[in-house]
Structure 1
Amino acid sequence: MAPPLLSFLFFTLLLFFSAHSELCNPQDKKVLLQIKKELNNPYVLTSWKPDTDCCDWYVVQCDRVSHRIISLTLFADSLSFQIPAAVGDLPHLETLDFHKLPNLTGPIHPAIAKLKNLKFLRIDWTNLSGPVPDFLSELKNLTYLNLAFNNLSGSIPPSLALLPNLGALFLDRNKLTGSIPHSFGMFSSVPDLYLYLSHNQLSGTIPSSFANMDFSVIDLSRNKLVGDASVVFGANKTTQIVDLSRNLFQFDLSKVVFPKSLTSLDLNHNKITGSIPVEMTALNLQFLNVSYNRLCGQIPVGGKLQSFDNSSYFHNRCLCGAPLASCKS
């Protein structure tokens, strides 16, 4: 049995090292406690206690080497708040995620512009209002930006195209107005950008600069866009999914050159004329909808074109052939 003195020293040292084994950076911990205070000490942040290691706290993550806070995620909660200004005081943050928070209100806080290491920014399914701020273009490390399903209004800042590493941009399901910036055809980021601008009130034409862009996915549906949309296509592109439905586009479909990579095409509810080009039989289409347009002529036979039912083709001016009624001889 150990002498009493040795036992005392052992437990003293154990308490000493336990008290000094916290990994979390003290300044980061101070900021997180300030965020908790600004959020009125919600139940979801119960684990955020001053006497515990903040690297073990719920909804945050520390870097394994530096032990700085690199991720803050709040999701699916009835928490009522505006974005805390203290969020901008976590300089090593790489992920900021506010997802499905219906009682998150107010604008996108300018403090976010201080997060120069941010790679992933998602603030979606909330009640945020105000504009898409121009200062987001200062976050040069962003690879993913999702501001969908909010109440954002105003025009889209052209400066977002200056983000050099952006791979996905979601601005859909808002109340955005104005035209699509010409600069969106000059993204310097990865070539297979995902662009979602659907369910807004955008107007005008698709910028001619889109001829230079090779989007992997482009969704411009449910806006008020007009003119020739064929600029999004091209023989040398690798685009897979295109949704231009429920706009006011007007162009000749028979003159469009489709990329061989195309797997999904939705053009329904526009003013598109011409006929379906026979080249579409060579596409490996998994989805097609050209209904409610002004197309004429026989649907080419072959490929996947007959695998879709009549709802993919109906309500056109004089389109005929399977799966629609036979063409008159």
Structure 2
Amino acid sequence: MFISKQYKLKSLSLSYNALQGSVPSWLLYNNTLLMLSLRSNHLYGGIPASSQIQASSLLMLDVSDNCLGSTLRTNVLESFPDLFYLNLSNNTLEGTLPSSFDNLLKLEVLDLSHNFLQGKLPPALRQNHTSLARLVLSNNFHGEVMPHFSNMSNLAYLHLQNDGFIGVLPAAMFNLPVLKVMDISGNNLSGNVPDYFPLFPHLAILILARNQFHGIIPVSLCQMQKLHILDMSANSLSGVLPSCLGNITAWMKESQVLLPAFMWLSPSYTNYRVKVPLTTKGNALSYEGIPLSQMTTLDLSMNHFTNEIPSQLGELAALHSLNLSHNVLSGHIPESL
């Protein structure tokens, strides 16, 4: 109870301990606390509601890597109107997302990954949050893949990997002017790869792996001079490998991406690293920080490409990983490789 007597406490981290029991209601609804991290403990029982019908003053709440293991109460998030950052990942949460997400209008980072949430996404998560900068899902959601992003002008990091989204990528999805990372791998998306990815002037990481895309690689991708990682493996793409991929600047010379491009600055002015799962040399690993900012990868494996390997790919002096395995490529291996 000593914490409840700290009347000037603004930030509290109890992360990476062996704490048990439920999340204390008095801790969430403390009048002074702004930053609270309970990450990696053994807490259970969901997020409690306020016992005194009062709003929480929290700006940041991280209860990831626990055992909350229940559904999210319908109105519980109405008690957190000022949240900038919410991380509920790795908690075996079940059920659908409550409509109270509509009230988190100041939210900049939302991580719900590695739970058992399902159903369709609330409309507010798809179009009304003008503050969202990073969205991480990775659950059992289904339906069309985020069909409306019309108001998400601050979204920089979009992680929708290993969900159940279907259909094609609609044009309405691509009004994201500051997008830097898009990972929509491991879904059931189909159709042709859109030719309007160059509309993202800052996109550095594009991961479309393990879907059902077919057709050719649009040559418009060659216009993406800031592209560092392109993974289109395990689809049904065919045709020829565009030789113009050798024109992408980031693969020709050492990386110019600064580390802050893959960080998020919190209201407390502490950096939150963006993690991206990548497969290199057959190993699936998560990269973050400096290794991620310097990684350059082209993975077109497990498709149906049939032409010779363009010699221009051998001129990509800054490329760290090139994977063309499990295709139907013909001809000789270019000496430039």
Q: TM-score, normalised by structure 2?
A: 0.70
Moved more, 145-154 or 226-235: 226-235
Contact 2:195/2:221 (8 A) holds in 1? no
- Structure 1 portions without partners, runs of 5+: 1-31, 36-53, 56-66
Contact 2:191/2:212 (8 A) holds in 1? yes
Q: Which amino acid aligns with 2:304?
A: R
Q: Is 1:317 matched with 2:304?
A: yes
Residue 294 of structure 1 and its aligned partner are, at CA, apart by 1.5
| Structure 2 residue corresponding to 1:170, chosen from 111, 135, 141 | 111
Q: Which amino acid aligns with 1:179?
A: K
Q: Which amino acid aligns with 1:316?
A: N
1:275-294 alignment to 2 at 5 Å? 275-283=216-224, 284-294=226-236
Moved more, 279-288 or 156-165: 156-165
Residue 246 of structure 1 and its aligned partner are, at CA, apart by 0.6
Match of 2:13 in 1: 73
Residue 135 of structure 1 and its aligned partner are, at CA, apart by 2.0
Distance 1:85 1:202 in 2: 29
Q: Is 1:245 matched with 2:190?
A: no
Match of 2:169 in 1: 229
1:199-240: CA deviation from partner (whole Å, max 9, x where unpaired): x11111123222443421110101111112344753762211
| Structure 2 residue corresponding to 1:132, chosen from 72, 83, 90 | 72
Residue 304 of structure 1 and its aligned partner are, at CA, apart by 5.5
Identity among equivalent positions (%) equals: 24
Report the count of equivalent residues: 264
Kindly tell me: are residues 173 and 155 of structure 1, through their superposed partners in 2, closer, same or farther at Cα, counting changes over 3 Å?
same
Distance 2:133 2:306 in 1: 34
Residue 88 of structure 1 and its aligned partner are, at CA, apart by 4.5
| Structure 2 residue corresponding to 1:119, chosen from 59, 81, 102 | 59
Distance 1:261 1:99 in 2: 31
Match of 1:159 in 2: 100
Distance 1:128 1:319 in 2: 49
| Greater Rg over alpha carbons, structure | 1
- Structure 2 portions without partners, runs of 5+: 253-295, 314-323, 333-337
Q: Which amino acid aligns with 1:194?
A: R
Contact 1:249/1:270 (8 A) holds in 2? yes
1:271-302: CA deviation from partner (whole Å, max 9, x where unpaired): 01222222211211111110111112223222
| Structure 1 residue corresponding to 2:143, chosen from 194, 198, 204 | 204
Distance 1:306 1:118 in 2: 42
- Greater length-normalized contact order (CA 8 Å, ≥ 6 residues apart): 2
RMSD of the TM alignment (CA)? 2.8
Q: TM-score, normalised by structure 1?
A: 0.71
Q: Which amino acid aligns with 2:59?
A: K
Distance 1:257 1:209 in 2: 16
Q: Which amino acid aligns with 2:45?
A: G
